[in-house]
Amino acid sequence: MTQKELIEIIQQHFPDQGESIIRSSLNRALSDFTAKTAITDAVATDTIVKDKRMYDLDPGMLTIKRVEIDSVQIPRLVTPPVKGDLD
């Protein structure tokens, strides 16, 4: 079903609602749904700095599926980092 079809159905039940408000509400609902169901995928890149192990991530990033450096997949850290790494 297209967004236009959804808007038409909603306007049948709520004839006073404008198309832009309905479209905005549908987009917000879609964003909420994809965030809760982890449908969206994104790729982030960063510059590697020598002797640096911790990097800030985009706050919109919900989960990290894998990390690669020069096309080599980095194994997931399964224990907490050493205290010195957190300073």
Residue 6 CB partners (closer than 8 Å, separation 6+):
22, 26
Count structural domains, the chain.
1
The whole-model pTM stands at 0.46
Give the type of residue at 41: D
User: Higher model confidence: residue 63 or residue 73?
Assistant: 73
Predicted local distance difference test score (pLDDT) of residue 35: 75
pLDDT-derived band at 6 (thresholds 50, 70, 90) equals very high
Q: Residue 47's domain spans which residues?
A: 1-87
DSSP 63: -
Q: For residue range 22-56, what is the model confidence (pLDDT) as tens digits?
A: 999 999 998 888 777 777 677 888 888 888 877 88
Q: What are phi and psi of 38, to 5 degrees?
A: 55, 40
